[in-house]
Chains A and B, each alone.
Chain A
Amino acid sequence: MTKPTPGTFLDPETLPFPFCPGCGHGTILEKLDEALVRRGSDPKRLVIVTDIGCAGLSDRHFTTNAFHGLHGRSVTYATGLKLADPGLDVVVLMGDGGCGIGGHHLINAARRNIGITVIVFNNLNYGMTGGEHSVSTPPGAITATTPLGQLERPMDICATVGVNGASFVARSSTFEPDLADVFVQALENPGFSLVDTWELCTAYFAPANRLNRSAIGEVQEALGMPGGVLHHAPRGEYAATYRESAASQGRLAPRQGSPLESTYGHQLEAPIRLLLAGAAGKKTVSAAGALARAGIRSGLFVTQRDDYPVTVKTGHVLSQLILSPREILYSGVPTPDVAIVLFPEGLAKARGNLAAMAPGATVYLESSLPEIETRASVIPLDLQGLPGWERKKEFWALIALGRLLRDTPILSLEALVESIGGEGDLAQRQRGAVGAGASLT
């Protein structure tokens, strides 16, 4: 690996640059080198991330760390590097093409104010692939893919990142004498910095559109995209702020397992498949979970599968449980042995399962629901006629489970009661619901 040369971050062995005569890329790299030297950057703590395009040829000329990635994604690699090691200096070199395909990343890097410095090599077209138009091509310009003249409005790269939270934004060109000063300012800003650096593509854009040094300023003026430092408003840098926020949480442990001890017995010889057909907001999944934990506390193996719409506060909830004295392999419940149907939403979804149930199976059906088609025996549950708080629908699933355990002693009521977590009135009533179910007439 080439050793750094004093006074420069460029590798003399790789020079001259491979760019076309008159191309601005070499100027940008020389000014960047000057800025890095002035700042006294440590090459080992600096990563130059390059995008695709002619600007992507830049990194090999530097004696720093170099990361050459995919088109438009350079900002994402830079973000990962900075998040992993907030003390790194990370500089992104990308073209106007990269700002198009990767515009989403620019906006979000600005929103985060992630501490990277983006230098845009803005030559108003795709120089590497043959002079096609880019997001920065001015109106009317002739390019390989705009033979009628550019009809799209150019993106104001500086305004885009500026309005979305970038803390340092400047527009300049390779003809501005203070370009290295602007780069130094950008590098010194701890948050997200971007310098939109206009230049000539002497292979395609400049000759096709008679663009030259003096015309660059005129185009910028005409578009209302003036040069200079446009925005400088330091605020918290993301990688540092993330770590401060994490530290301020105090010492919390990551989630550990919470194994259950089998302290109760059970009376199950063969697996039992249970379908609980409920509705959103009626504590169906949590009741099924309590029964599952009760099963494990009773020495059983249990699986639980839940189904509900993506709009979680509405519609059906189906919980399928298998309780078995042996390890459960196939976890499907196409034909339940027991179904508990409490609400119209769950009934609508479970009709197929109910119709498929065998004659020896049992359906507990809330008594206000319409008749169902099934060969299973149907036991009505009069839950609306209960006195007091038990009438509330969020207790019905536990009441029904209490009733089930009275009729079919799979496991003890105590195991289910112990498996209802939480403190306070609600938890107290939930535990009471099991007993209320067991004494249903």
Chain B
Amino acid sequence: MREFIDGAEAISRAAIRAGCNFFAGYPITPATPILLHLTRDLPRVGGVAIQAEDEIAAMGMRIGAAMAGSRVMTATSGPGISLYSENIGLAIMGEVPMVIVDAQRMGPATGAATTTAQGDVQFLRWGTSGGYPVIVLSPWSVASCFTLTLRAFDLAERFRTPVFLATDKEMVLGRTTVPVEDLVEIPVRERRMAPPDGTFIPYPEDAPLGVPEMAVMGGPHIVRFTTSSHDARGHLTKAPAAVGALNERLTRKIEDHLEEIEWVREDLEPDADTLVVSYGTTARASREAVEAARGAGHRVSHLIVESIWPVPEAAILRAAEGVQQVLVPELNTGQYRREVERVMGGQAAVVGVNRVDGELITPLEILEAGGLS
């Protein structure tokens, strides 16, 4: 049995499977179908979906709802991420689990609303002040939109942090044939709650796994939440020891657990000369190019990166062992190539395949860039 669905439907259905019960958003092409789907369906499962007055309000409502115990999500495009920026920092600071879908479109500014792009890749990582890490997943098929949405909710709970789903217009609005067995369900962790009795410390320095247990505002404990640098009790502080401990923990809780986040698809050939590193929509043309190159007798490996931030450095180095060149196709001017170059440290030539005219990169362009045509 096969379905004919787009990424918007896959993401929306997965969100409900993941237990999402609060959505606040603002209409923006090409993310609107997710707003429409969940506006209709969340009240049917006892949840709430609201169209806020703007993206800033949508983000604020989600943070509030999450602190009252909801599992929250939104969907927007690059211009909306711009408006989320300051509150993304608040979600990092207050350690709020949430999923943010970015259906990327052509920028800068209003750009082209119905034109696909992958121009937000660095923006998602560095989109708020302070430079603290977030997690970004990037589905490369409608089926992986489904599975990675579940994974995004799971990682949001595990790390108490915003998790982005970096998709794009092509993936969200393009309908495609999906065998039902490809809509792979993976478990989503429950929120780790503090025991109802005893003393509750909201931000202990020595929290297991680096992530404090949560308590719901309105539940058995008094909860303090703040945008300001705070001590373990959630009180504003400027004491260097407390501030340093908090900020280092916000970094370490993610960067010390990369193996839990790394999620890649390896299609590696022994003795490959060329490695293609791809993500998102562009991974599809990359797969086609790799198959064609192999058919022509070239030795090519392919790594599809599904967890693009933090950069899965170990997986890239593993896949690149012994290759002469690494091709990085993407619908921007070379944002992830920059990361691959950093990881490779000069061990192989890193070649970008880039388009910013709204058209998809073709398999032939990838082959030509790698001298494989």
Chain A residues close to B by CB (< 8 Å): 1, 43-45, 47, 49, 52, 57, 59-60, 63-70, 73, 75-85, 87-88, 104-105, 107-108, 242, 245-246, 249, 251-262, 289, 292-293, 295-296, 300-307, 310, 327-332, 334
B200 touches A (CB below 8 Å): yes
Stretch from B61-69, B248-256, B316-324 at the A interface: B61-69
Contacting residue for B176 out of A83, A108, A258, A302, CB 8 A:
A302
CB-nearest residue of chain B relative to A321?
B175
B369 touches A (CB below 8 Å): no
What is the CA–CA distance of A260 and B175 in the complex, to the nearest angstrom?
14
Known: A69-B225, A257-B3, A296-B2. 17 other contacts (CB 8 A): A1-B221, A59-B226, A65-B224, A66-B223, A105-B56, A105-B60, A242-B48, A242-B50, A246-B46, A249-B44, A254-B13, A254-B16, A254-B41, A255-B9, A257-B5, A307-B114, A310-B113
Contacting residue for A80 out of B62, B170, B218, B236, CB 8 A:
B62
B188 touches A (CB below 8 Å): no
Contact A81 B68, CB 8 Å, known A60-B235, A253-B44, A330-B288: yes
| A303 CB → nearest B CB, Å | 5
B186 touches A (CB below 8 Å): no
CB-nearest residue of chain B relative to A242?
B48
Question: Which residues of chain A are within 8 angstroms of B217 by Cβ–Cβ distance?
Answer: 47, 65, 67, 81, 85, 88
Contact A293 B4, CB 8 Å, known A67-B64, A331-B170: yes
A331 & B176 in contact (Cβ 8 Å cutoff): yes
B190 touches A (CB below 8 Å): no
A66 & B224 in contact (Cβ 8 Å cutoff): yes
CB-nearest residue of chain B relative to A60?
B235
Question: Which residues of chain A are within 8 angstroms of B37 by Cβ–Cβ distance?
Answer: 255
B13 & A255 in contact (Cβ 8 Å cutoff): yes
What is the CA–CA distance of A256 and B5 in the complex, to the nearest angstrom?
11
CB-nearest residue of chain B relative to A246?
B43
Size bracket, chain B contacts: 35 or more
What is the CA–CA distance of A255 and B33 in the complex, to the nearest angstrom?
13
B118 touches A (CB below 8 Å): no
A81 & B67 in contact (Cβ 8 Å cutoff): yes
B29 touches A (CB below 8 Å): yes
A330 & B176 in contact (Cβ 8 Å cutoff): no
What is the CA–CA distance of A11 and B230 in the complex, to the nearest angstrom?
18
Question: Which residues of chain B are within 8 angstroms of A83 by Cβ–Cβ distance?
Answer: 22, 48, 50, 61, 64-65
B97 touches A (CB below 8 Å): no
A-B contact pairs, 28 of them (CB 8 A): A1-B200, A44-B219, A63-B222, A65-B218, A66-B225, A67-B217, A68-B236, A70-B86, A76-B52, A76-B61, A77-B61, A80-B24, A80-B60, A80-B65, A81-B65, A84-B66, A85-B69, A107-B53, A108-B52, A242-B48, A246-B46, A252-B44, A257-B5, A257-B183, A259-B180, A260-B4, A330-B288, A331-B284
CB-nearest residue of chain A relative to B215?
A65
Contact A104 B224, CB 8 Å, known A70-B86, A79-B60, A331-B174: no
Question: Which residues of chain A are within 8 angstroms of B67 by Cβ–Cβ distance?
Answer: 67, 77, 80-81
Give chain B interface residues in 28-80, CB to chain A under 8 Å: 29, 37, 40-41, 43-46, 48, 50, 52-54, 56-57, 59-70
| Residue interface bits B154-192, CB-to-A below 8 A is 1, else 0 | 000000000000000010011111001001000000000
